[in-house]
Amino acid sequence: MRKFSSLDTRGCATTDGGFCVPPLATSLLIFACIFGSSVLAMAIGRKLKPHHISTESRDVVKLGIGMVSAMSALILSLIVSSVMSSYNQTERDVQQYAADIANLDASLRDHGPEADSIRATMRQFTQMAIEGAWPTLHAKDNQAGPTVVGHRLTAIGVSISDLSSATAEEQRTKLASLQAFNKVHQDYWKIAVETYSSVNPTLVTILTVWLTLIFVSFGLFAPRNLITYAFLFACSASIACAVYIILDLNAPFEGLMSIRSTPLENALSRLQQP
């Protein structure tokens, strides 16, 4: 299982099977497939005999492509819905994670000087989590491995358990701190699970085949002129951009539309206050 702090810097989301889906490379490949297929179909269509491009043949192609277009639109809408739902959920979880870290720090302050070392460890853990989740914003040399970050979080829980609880007030404060820590621990692993890709590469491959088939039908009967080529190029580029956006959202901690680290940075600023 990949941890929250162990996101790699390959610029792609990884599926449960370890398959990497890089947004830019995938979208460029899809563009090449659909635009290249339409241009190739235009060249082939010029050599077809008249009975191959008769009205009856065109009608059959239009009916078949209409069904494929409807299925492609349905699959694309389902992918967009899934990716946006996952992205928004992860963003909310990061905000909740930051709030729970700040709440844990407030609880540790109630213990007084005895918990100063735990708060220092909390600062280190939060800094490591930020650097690991947003690797492109920090130097690689400063990024700790997932094992180190996981051990740091475990050490915080052990230290809280070791706090003194001689009086009723200390017991109450310690219990509150343990409950706050459990929420932070739960947030950490919840976000860790959400870093996996929600887009099935097989589904992307099938969608690419369908889109390629649609553009082949366009090219077979399209006139050969500059306007046609420009229009097919623009349509292919638009579809490739849409795929790029989907895959970029699918990697919520990387890319152009990555989730902001501001909530955790604000929590770190609070931790750094005496």
* 179, part of any domain: yes
Amino acid at 4: F
* 8, part of any domain: no
* 17, part of any domain: no
* 182, part of any domain: yes
- Give strand pairing partners of 14: 20
Give the tokens for residue 146. Answer: 């997932």
Low-confidence stretches of the chain (pLDDT beneath 50): 1-11, 15-18
Q: Give the DSSP per-residue string, the chain.
A: ---GGG--SSSSEE-TT--EE-HHHHHHHHHHHHHHHHHHHHHHHHHS-GGGGSHHHHHHHHHHHHHHHHHHHHHHHHHHHHHHHHHHHHHHHHHHHHHHHHHHHHHHHTTGGGGHHHHHHHHHHHHHHHHHHSGGGS-GGGPPPHHHHHHHHHHHHHHHHTS---SHHHHHHHHHHHHHHHHHHHHHHHHHHHTS--S-HHHHHHHHHHHHHHHHHHHHH---SHHHHHHHHHHHHHHHHHHHHHHHHTSTTSSTTPPPSHHHHHHHHHHT--
Handedness of CA 80, 82, 87, 92 (dihedral sign): positive
* 3, part of any domain: no
Spatial CA neighbour of 216 closest among 76, 98, 42, 51: 42
- How many angstroms separate the CA atoms of 85 and 67, rounded? 27
Residue with tokens 């190029």: 233
Give pLDDT tens digits for 86-126: 899 999 999 999 999 999 999 999 888 899 999 999 999 99
Q: Domain span at residue 160? A: 22-193+201-271
* 12, part of any domain: no
The pLDDT score that the predictor gives to residue 19 is: 52
The pLDDT score that the predictor gives to residue 144 is: 53
Handedness of CA 48, 54, 56, 58 (dihedral sign): positive
- How many angstroms separate the CA atoms of 99 and 216, rounded? 52
* 34, part of any domain: yes
Give pLDDT tens digits for 153-189: 889 999 999 888 888 888 999 999 999 999 999 998 8
* 9, part of any domain: no
The pLDDT score that the predictor gives to residue 23 is: 87
State the CB neighbour count (10 A cutoff) for residue 69. 15
- Give strand pairing partners of 20: 14
Give the tokens for residue 178. Answer: 């343990």
The answer to whether 249 and 87 have CB atoms below 8 angstroms apart is yes
The answer to whether 108 and 115 have CB atoms below 8 angstroms apart is yes
- How many angstroms separate the CA atoms of 66 and 56, rounded? 15
Split into its structural domains, the chain has a count of: 1
The model's pTM is 0.78
